[in-house]
């Protein structure tokens, strides 16, 4: 317990000694007469800070309410003094639009999201934002030690109809039905009683339930199986999805290139952290950039989907990518029956039936002799209560004999 407490105090001390968060973002529409340099600081706090003179961008963000975030030559790093991961990114996130961010692994997509939220330091450029709040779902879901319902509600109040719609859209209805206490099931510390996909959908449901106008999703569909991912995506981000009906602004990092046609705007990063290209899906298809290189994979992914009569999409297992096929085979292997008599018969015959018979006999002898010592103690104490200590020698001899037999049979069967 002392060791655990020391480790906890060490983590708290490391956090307190770390650099304070500095929100480098500036408002798109500042209040009249109030000079504000960061969304996270008040005018009094601004007066206490020194601001280095910088060259303001020639094109200021529009103030007609159509932009949520405007980045101008912004560079982001994970800590002060470290080299930037995102280099001189310039783009605009439009209100009520779905913006998808794509790029190779390690290109800095998560760093970009953190920078736009003011969570990572900006070493260059400017970020303007008109949204003080946003619902954020990261790759590693944040789950509290509470019930399913409390995790979905978060700080929001309970609305039954909206709650049911969110649970259905996030594909949690079947999972909750088979849980022991339904919506009141305790998920444990960090959701230890849930699978990875369940935790991801639970965190996603909390973000959707909050009804925030701006939602940021960091590759939240990667941990879901194909059927569940198709259901959740269509119910949330499809043409008739909940987020479309709410008019939400969605910023999504994804590797699912077959979902790109659902986007209103695409930002593609290259391996160096620069914005390789940006624009609508239709315009990027005609260009000779990053998205054009993904055209064969995009065509293959599209070919894996067929439309059903009800308008839903089904993935053909025969046309799945190689890595997905391997995963399906592994699941099938885990579900394969392993208790057939022929398997055990072959196994025991390869050992030799004589050895199996001797081994089984020794196991029975060990089990009986070790259990008899516990039963003997009951008779021993009962007899000693009526006849006194004169019976100790008799029972002690039997107890020692049974112990020796159990010990000898254990040694023998191990050998």
pTM for this structure? 0.63
Residue 361: per-residue pLDDT: 93
User: Mean pLDDT over all residues of the chain?
Assistant: 81
- Give SS3 for 392: helix
Residue 315: per-residue pLDDT: 45
Residue 385: per-residue pLDDT: 82
Q: Domain spans of the chain?
A: 342-414
**Mean pLDDT on 173-194:** 87
Higher pLDDT, 300 or 144: 144
CB-CB contact of 27 with 40 (8 Å)? no
Higher pLDDT, 105 or 36: 105
Length, in residues, of the chain: 415
CB-CB contact of 102 with 257 (8 Å)? yes
Q: Is the confidence at residue 56, as pLDDT, over 90?
A: no
Q: DSSP class of residue 186? A: B
Q: What is the pLDDT of residues 26-41, one digit of tens each?
A: 888 654 444 444 454 4
Q: How far is CA 147 from CA 151, 180, 252, in A?
A: 6, 12, 27
Q: What share of the chain is helix, strand, coil (3-state, %, to 5)?
A: 50, 15, 35
In 10 A of CB 170, how many CB atoms? Answer: 27
CB-CB contact of 204 with 217 (8 Å)? yes
Q: DSSP class of residue 358? A: H
In 10 A of CB 91, how many CB atoms? Answer: 18
CA 287 to chain centre: 34
């Amino acid at each position: 317990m002392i060791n655990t407490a020391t480790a906890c105090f060490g983590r708290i001390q490391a956090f307190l000694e770390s650099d304070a968060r500095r929100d480098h973002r500036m408002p798109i529409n500042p209040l009249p007469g109030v000079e504000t340099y960061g969304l996270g600081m008040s005018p009094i706090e601004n007066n206490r800070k020194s601001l280095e003179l910088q060259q303001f961008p020639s094109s200021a963000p529009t103030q007609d309410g159509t932009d949520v975030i405007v980045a101008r030559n912004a560079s982001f790093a994970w800590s002060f003094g470290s080299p930037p991961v995102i280099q001189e990114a310039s783009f605009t996130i439009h209100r009520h639009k779905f913006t998808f961010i794509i790029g190779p692994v390690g290109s800095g997509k998560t760093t970009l999201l953190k920078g736009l939220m003011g969570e990572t330091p900006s070493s260059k450029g400017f970020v303007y934002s008109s949204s003080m709040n946003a619902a954020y779902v990261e790759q590693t879901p944040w789950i509290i030690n509470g019930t399913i319902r409390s995790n979905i509600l978060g700080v929001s109040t309970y609305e039954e109809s909206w709650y049911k719609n969110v649970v259905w859209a996030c594909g949690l209805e079947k999972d909750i039905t088979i849980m022991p206490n339904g919506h009141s099931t305790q998920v444990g510390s960090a959701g230890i009683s849930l699978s990875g996909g369940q935790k991801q959908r639970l965190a996603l449901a909390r973000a959707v339930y909050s009804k925030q106008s701006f939602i940021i999703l960091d590759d939240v569909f990667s941990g879901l199986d194909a059927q569940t991912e198709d259901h959740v995506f269509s119910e949330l981000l499809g043409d008739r999805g909940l987020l479309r009906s709410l008019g939400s602004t969605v910023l999504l990092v994804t590797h699912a290139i077959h979902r790109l046609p659902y986007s209103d705007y695409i930002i593609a990063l290259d391996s160096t952290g620069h914005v390789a290209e940006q624009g609508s899906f239709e315009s990027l298809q005609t260009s000779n950039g990053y998205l054009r290189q993904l055209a064969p994979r995009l065509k293959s992914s599209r070919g894996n989907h067929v439309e059903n009569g009800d308008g839903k999409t089904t993935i053909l297992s025969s046309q799945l990518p190689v890595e997905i096929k391997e995963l399906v085979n592994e699941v099938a292997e885990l579900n394969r029956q392993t208790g057939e008599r022929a398997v055990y018969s072959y196994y025991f015959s390869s050992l030799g039936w004589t050895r199996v018979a001797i081994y089984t006999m020794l196991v029975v002898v060990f089990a009986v002799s070790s259990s008899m010592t516990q039963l003997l103690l009951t008779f021993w104490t009962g007899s000693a209560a009526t006849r006194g200590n004169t019976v100790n020698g008799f029972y002690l001899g039997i107890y020692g004999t049974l112990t020796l037999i159990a010990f000898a049979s254990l040694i023998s069967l191990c050998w």
